[in-house]
Amino acid sequence: MIQRYDAYREEDMEVWQILFDRQHKNLQGKASQTYLDCLDQLEAVLHGDAIPRFTDLDQVLKKATHWSIEVVPGLIPVAEFFELLSRRKFCSSTWLRSKAQLDYLEEPDMFHDIFGHVPLLIYDRYADFMQEVGRLGYACRNQPELLDAMERVYWYSIEFGLVVAENGHKIYGAGTLSSFGETNAIFEPGTDIRRFDLDEIMSMSFTKSELQSKYYVIESLDELFESLEKIEFKLLAS
């Protein structure tokens, strides 16, 4: 599949600009500084003025960390998703939500995939972590329980993870970075924020259709890469 750029309508461009500009502003002081720096570095090819062209993003990603975008129709089987990650290919749909869906989607769209995930893929340690999660996840493709455990690692780190900062915690998980409502909800009093704990995470269920009930915070993005050895050990011991 390819991105058919000429198929986007004027409303699509308007929706992209609304989503990008609103969330870019909303993330100041809330997102990981590494994410914000990466987003700034991509400004020439990822901004609010127009829907990004995947061919332009690919050129930057390949030069920075040898990643590329793999166009998919929507959600794909978990094992197939992990296999693509293991080859440094990040899955993205090309469809965009409507104006009536600005704040809620049942299935991730292009804004989530590109705005939420792509910026950190130019940060080498994070890019390597993403590939290794894909490798470990795909290795579990014939073991449903272990595949579920790897999906939970992905969910509570890459999708909804938090990282320690000087003045509290910041967001690095793409599911939150791309969600206006969830970005704000995390900083409400009483939010259940827990220390990154692999034993707990690998056995913790999650819900895709509503705001998360708990979040896990790491000391630094480098800790993600350093956790890979522990993840692999736990899989082998299971």
The two tokens of residue 186 are 């995390």
Statement: residue 105 has pLDDT above 80: no
pLDDT tens-digit map of 48-103: 999 999 999 999 999 999 999 999 988 899 999 999 999 999 999 999 999 988 88
Amino acid at the residue 105? L
> What angle do helix axes 78-86 and 144-154 make, rounded to 10 degrees?
60
Domains within the chain, CATH numbers bracketed: 8-237 (1.10.800.10)
SS3 content of the chain, % helix, strand, coil (to 5): 55, 10, 35
CA distances from residue 230 to 37, 42, 165, 202 in whole angstroms, order as listed: 29, 32, 24, 12
Give the span between the Cα atoms of 10 and 18, in whole angstroms: 12
Amino acid at the residue 238? S
pTM: 0.94
| Residues 174 and 162 sit within 8 Å (Cβ to Cβ) | no
- When pLDDT is averaged across residues 152-177 and rounded to a whole number, the result is 94
Give the span between the Cα atoms of 214 and 64, in whole angstroms: 33
